[in-house]
A = this chain, B = another copy of it.
Amino acid sequence: MAGSSPAMMAMVESVWSLDPKLATDTVPVGDLALTRVLLSNNANFPWLILVPRLPGLVEITDLELNEQVQLLGEIDAAARVLKSVTECEKLNIAALGNVVAQLHVHVIGRRHSDAAWPKPVWGAAKPSAYSPALRDGLIGALRRGLKITDRERAER
């Protein structure tokens, strides 16, 4: 669908909806061309989740090649902005999907001092919700870095 017309993308998106568990565990940052960018509501790790807004996806291999390249570009952008904003020491990038089937990609900033290092973050430490001020400041910086300005779409 990458490269399709805005009208076509809007039609396909109209039958897509965010997985309820992803919605519960995150706050929206905003939409890039292909993916909805979410911030995991867990202050232990700066942790973005990118969800392609196309219905029925489980594996990266379910995307057509041009869609995969678009996804990769958005992962690259999210990773660079997350690293710049949080000054993290390492990135972890992963598409697992063992618990939530809807295709989603984790982009996580890691520090040698974080609650799980050097282990992966999944299941490693009890989630700790952001304070509203910290969360909103982080989301604002991420939106500026990702050049997301369409607040209405991000919050729907």
* A residues whose Cβ falls under 8 Å from a Cβ of B: 58-61, 65, 68-69, 72-73, 75-76, 79-80, 83, 90-99, 110, 117-120, 122-123
- Minimal Cβ-Cβ distance residue in B for A118: B98
Kindly provide the distance from the CB of A156 to the nearest chain B CB, expressed in whole angstroms. Answer: 29
Task: Give the dominant DSSP class at A's interface.
Answer: mixed
Identical subunits present: 2
When A61-B91, A91-B59, A93-B60 are in contact, do A98 and B76 touch as well, CB less than 8 Å?
no
Kindly provide the distance from the CB of A23 to the nearest chain B CB, expressed in whole angstroms. Answer: 19
Residues on the B chain within 8 Å of A117, using CB: 98
Residue among B72, B98, B110, B118 making CB contact with A72, cutoff 8 Å:
B72
